[in-house]
Chain A
C-alpha cells in the first residue's frame, strides 16, 4: 500500500490557496534591508561615453550606487562560455543591459536616483535579425553538425524535392513571479542568498566568483519559485548578483525584485529560429533525405544557446526515421538579451521544422498528412535508429498513432473538415495529428547527476533535501512519495526542505525534465542506505534464538508505519519506535544519496552517440477553425495521448501535460514578441504580450496516458514529463496550415510560428490574391518603426 502512483495534492497546495506560501518578495523585510534597483543601457548597441552618478547619489535615501568597478571578483560569467558581464563596462550589447546598481532605503528613492543617472552613449546600429548576423558573420560558439547516409544520392534519386525556409519566433517564459533575490551578509565574507532560481549551485558559484570569495562562503537557497520554465536556469544570475554585491558593500540585507516590465525587457527568452531545408521524398511520401540548416538568434551572449542548438539538432527527426540527413546548427550573435532555456530547450524549434515539412509534403502529394506521418514514423524492429545513432528502443510510437486516431475518430472528423470547408464561405477548418519524441537527459553528460540528504529524526519523522528546486512541477511531493514508500510510512512524516547548497553541493539545474529522475533516484539511494542499517537492526530486534529465528534482514518489512519480521508477524514495532531504538543502539539515521544516469554519452564533435537515457513520447490531434475575414483562430478540440511510464503522481503529471501543452499553444498561436527597430521590446507586459487565457483552452480537451509495457528503467519506472507535452502544440499549428491548404490552390501555403491572427489573415490574403506568389515569405517578424501607445 504505497503512495507512489496515487494522485496526491501538490506539496504546497494548501499554502498556495491560502496565500501563506511565501515567495522571495513575501519574506518579511529585515530591519535594515535595502531595496535594489538598476539602471540599464538606453541603447541596444553602443559604448558608454560618460556616466554621471553625482545627482543620483545625492537623493535622500540612496545607500549606494555601484558600477562594474565596484565588483571585487570577476565581472564575467556564463554557464557554458564565460562571455557575459554582470554590469556593462564600456560596450552595451542589448537594451536595458544593467550598468549601475542602485541601493536605497525605499523604492521611491531608488526610482528617483534611477531617473537622475546621466549617461551619454556612442550608438552603433544594432544587429537584431538572424539575417543581419549572418551577413556580419556574428556567431556564438561553433557550428554543430549531425550527418548520416548519403544525402546527395538521396536528392539525386528522389521522386520529389521540396525546399524552403521556416521561421519560428521566440517566446517569453512569463513565469508569474518575476526575477527576485535577497542577499543576507554574514560574518566575515559569508553571504546567504535566497533567489528564485532553478539553479542554486550556479548562483552560489557566480556570487562567489563575482565577490572574489570561496564557494564555501556562500549559501544559496531556493524554497520555491512562482514559475520558471527555464527562464530561471541562468537568468537569475544577474539579479542575484546585484543583491549580493549590495549586501557585500553595505553589510545590510538587500532585495531585488524585477518589475514584470523590466523582467520581460531584459531577460532572455526562447530563441527565434530561421531554418533552411531541402527534403527528398518518394511518390508515396516517404522521406529519403533531409538537409536542414538551423540558425538561432542567440542574443548578445552565449548563455545556454549552444546546448539549446544541440538539442534542436537532436530533435530535428522528431518521431521520424530519416535515412540520409545533414543537419547543421549555428547560433547567431545579436543585440538582444541573451536568449536562454525555455521548456523544450530547442526541441520545439527542431520538431517544428520537420512537422512543417510533413505538412508540406502532404499538401504537395494531396494526401492526408496523418498517413505520411505514420509512414515515416520510427519502427520497432527496423528503421529505428536516430541520425545520431541512438536506437529508439522500447518505443510504442506506432501504437500511439493508432490508439489516438481511434479514440479521437480522426478519419471521420477529417472527412467532416473537408466537407465543412466546401460548404463554408466564412470559416475554414483544419486538423492535424502530430507525434512527439523527446530525449531525456542533459546532453552535457556530467550534469546527469544528483545528490540527496535524508535525515530521520528521533520521532520517526524525516527531512529530505535534494538539489532539485520546486517551481510548481510537483517535484517535492513526488520525492516525498518515493521516500514514504521506502520506509512504509505516511507522507505527513516527511518534509522536503528548501533547496540549499549547504545541504546539497554541486547540483545540476532543475531542468531537462530530469528533476525527479535525478533527485528522486538520489533520494532513493539515501533511503536505501539508511534502510539497510535500520533493517539490520530490526532483524536483530525481532530475532529469537529460542524460536530458532536468526536475524535475517530479508525478512523485515516496513509497511503502513509498522515494522515486522515476516516469520513472526505478530511482533511489530511502530516505525517511530524502531527509529528511537535504533538511535539508542547507535545506528546511523542519516545518509547522503547519489545518482548518475548510466549508459549515456554523446560526442558533439562527431554528432554521434546515445545521449538519452530514454525517450518520452506522445501524440496529439487538434482541430481548429479560422475566420476567413479576420484570421481569428479558435481551437475546437485537442486530444493528447502520452507515454509517461508509470506515473508517480498522476494528478501532478496530468497537470504537466495540460499546462505544458497550453504553453506550447501560446508559442504557436498568440504569443508575439514585437520589437522596435532600435532593439527595444515593445510587447513587454501582459497588456501587449498575450499568453493563453482561460477562454483559449480548447472547447474539448482530452488528455490521456497510455501504458508502455516495455519501459522498465528510471525511478519507479516513471518517465520525465515536464517538457515533452509542450511540443504536442505543433498539432495546433499544423492544423492551421492544413486549413490554409484548402484555399491555396495548387500552391503550398507558408505559415510561420506563431500563427497569430495577423499571420493567418496575411496567408489567407496571399491565397486569395493570385498576383502575390503564395510562397513569398518575408521571413523574420518585422521590426516596428513608429511607436504609438494608444491607450
Chain B
C-alpha cells in the first residue's frame, strides 16, 4: 500500500488588503517512509514541492523544511529527506484590489516517498485554505 501524507486542517486565514499573509501547513508522512526534501541530493529524485494554483493571494516565498541527511540501504550516500511531521510556510501578498470576503486558496503538495526497500509513485495532496480578505 502506498504511503499516506496528511495535512492538518488550517483555520480560516485573515488577510488584510495590501498586506502580507503567512500560512503554515503542517504535514505528516506515515511512519516508516521518507520523502525527498525540496532539495534532494540527486538530480533524478523528485523534490517535495508545494504549488499554489488558485486563490486571491499572490505567493511570494515558500520556506521548506531543511531535509535531514539519512542513509538508506539503496543509496551509497545519505539522502536529503523529510519524515514524520514537518511544516511548510508560505508568504503571500494580499493584493490591494482583492475582493473582500471569504475565498478559497488552493494548492497541492507533491511528494515522492520510499521505505528502505521500495519507492512509490509521486503523489500530489490537495491543500485547500479558506482566506478571509478584509
A, B co-complexed: no
Interface residues of A (CB under 8 A from B): none
